[in-house]
Structure 1
Amino acid sequence: MTPAFDVTGDGPAVLLLHSTVCDRRMWDPQVAALAAAGHRVVRLDLVGHGDTPVPTGRFDEAEAAVKLLDELGVTETALVGSSGGGRLALEIAARRPDRVTALALLCTALRGHETSPELDAFDEREEALLEAGDVAGAVDLNVDLWVGPEADDATRERVRVMQRHAFDVQLAAEDVAYEPVRTEPDLSAITAPTLLVTGAHDLPDFREIAVHLAGVLPKARHVELDWAGHLPSLERPDEVNALLLEFLAV
């Protein structure tokens, strides 16, 4: 299965991997800026998000992303990943370091990270709401936690629409026998220069992950945004665009 995707612009490639609270539409504020700066921007929907369905059987999402790049004739790319998309970006960069020119991780997750009590409590509450059939309540829970305090109502509504759609797709596929292939990345294999961005209003997990990665990845830089929650590229897109463009221009 090929994930749903779109391509904008020409030049050095940038693959955008969205947060699992959202879908590829979260990158709308970045696509035009990156394309205008001379990049070929590829963005895809992760499994069960946007226009990518939940597949039947074993499915390797990292390998599917690399195959998509092959189909597009992209031999090298920068990766920009948000949260769960950052986790996938790390997996791709570890498996195929020869294909990754740069790695920008916004509030990234990391497979193998020991979750905080705050994140555990959120997961339990979300699961309880979904089991009770309160999908709207689960959406509200996500918006309240993941969108930073300085985001406007329009941004919150965008996240609400994307999260609701993801729940609808995933709940409709509850009986699908999906077996995701998930591997903990060998961080020592990653060679790309890395930008790590975190938000001061996010859960502590994501700063801990960034600090850890900054200590083990080569040529890594960690930037904490004092105004940001978990989705800074949506909360203040102009500021994040400037950070990304500066990093990708090096």
Structure 2
Amino acid sequence: MTAVDVHYVVEGSPDGPPVLLSGSLGSDLRMWAPQVAALTTAGYRVVRYDQRGHGRSPVPPGPYSLADLGADVLALLDRLQIRRAHFVGLSLGGMVGMWVGQYAPHRLHTLTLCCTSAELGPPSGWADRAATVRAEGTGAVAEAAVQRWFTPQWRAAHPERTRDFQDMIASTPAEGYAACCAAIETMDLTARLPKISAPTLVVAGADDPATPPAHAQRIADAVPLARLEIIGPAAHLANVEQPGIVNDLILGHLKENS
């Protein structure tokens, strides 16, 4: 479990309560653009970062574990001299948030888990996807991923943004993507969910084929201070497809637990 110095940007009030935004497999920090204005206007200090192997972060040789990705978060908080943060994670980012909540609970003020899972099998599916990406590059999985990320209606209404997200996936380093697939392949956070002590908001997309609402329900049932919100129409990147609703839910959660 060796941390790397991930790429990040900080926006908003330097003295505001810190909110860390952690993204999905195949994304970079641009996926959180719909949340920045709402959070900074409300007075928060917003930190977005690229997972290791993604965007402008380093790409160490894989495989990675969830503990590696969690260690990157703790190292980033240390670099920014942030003792405790509000953590918002989607998909892989939510898995990282659950790991931090289980193994470093003192670093979290609140936890928001969007469109994620504590156990996302079958493992063979992630091994197969990693093998495809290593052989053919991330462009080979980009179109299928975007179809999971957004409902058909959203894609039809936003063709240019859909292409931008497909290009984002295709530009992800193959080794970084495949190595993060391994982190999901070997992940099982279910047994330690009751150890998460931070007030937790769990958000599910009603139309999410990647992490359906049942996965969110399982998390919300096991985390002591959790509540569940299912929103729609929304697929996997609910923060992009329904930014107004997601922003209101996040801000309400932060304010209730400030």
Q: Normalised by the size of structure 2, how large is the TM-score?
A: 0.82
In the other structure, the counterpart of 1:161 is 167
- Structure 2 residue runs of 5 or longer lacking an equivalent are none
Which range moved further: 198-207 or 27-36? 198-207
One-letter amino acid matched to 2:30: R
8 Å contact from structure 1 (residues 80, 89) kept in 2: yes
Question: Which of 66, 81, 85 is the equivalent residue of 1:77?
Answer: 85
Structure 1 Cα separation of the partners of residues 73 and 204 of structure 2: 25
Distance 1:104 1:150, change over 3 A: farther
In the other structure, the counterpart of 1:141 is 144
In the other structure, the counterpart of 1:34 is 39
Q: CA offset at residue 132 of structure 1?
A: 6.3
Structure 1 residues 73-222: aligned runs within 5 Å: 73-110=81-118, 112-115=119-122, 120=125, 124=128, 126=129, 130=133, 133=136, 135-151=138-154, 152-166=158-172, 169-171=173-175, 184-185=188-189, 186-203=192-209, 205-222=211-228
Structure 1 counterpart SS, 2:171: helix
Q: CA offset at residue 101 of structure 1?
A: 1.1
- Given the alignment of the two structures, is residue 5 of structure 1 paired with residue 8 of structure 2, yes or no? yes
Structure 2 Cα separation of the partners of residues 196 and 190 of structure 1: 13
Distance 1:91 1:201, change over 3 A: same
One-letter amino acid matched to 1:238: G
8 Å contact from structure 1 (residues 150, 228) kept in 2: no
- Given the alignment of the two structures, is residue 234 of structure 1 paired with residue 240 of structure 2, yes or no? yes
Aligned residues, how many?
A: 240
Distance 1:150 1:244, change over 3 A: farther
Structure 1 moving runs of 4+ over 6 Å: 179-183
One-letter amino acid matched to 1:43: R
Structure 2 counterpart SS, 1:150: helix
In the other structure, the counterpart of 1:50 is 55
8 Å contact from structure 2 (residues 8, 49) kept in 1: yes
Distance 1:99 1:133, change over 3 A: closer
- Structure 1 residue runs of 5 or longer lacking an equivalent are none
Distance 1:127 1:73, change over 3 A: closer
Give CA deviations for 1:118-157 in whole Å, capped at 9, x if unaligned: x94x975x56764663754421111122222332223312
Structure 1 counterpart SS, 2:21: strand
Q: Normalised by the size of structure 1, how large is the TM-score?
A: 0.84
Q: CA offset at residue 40 of structure 1?
A: 0.8
Structure 2 Cα separation of the partners of residues 8 and 100 of structure 1: 19
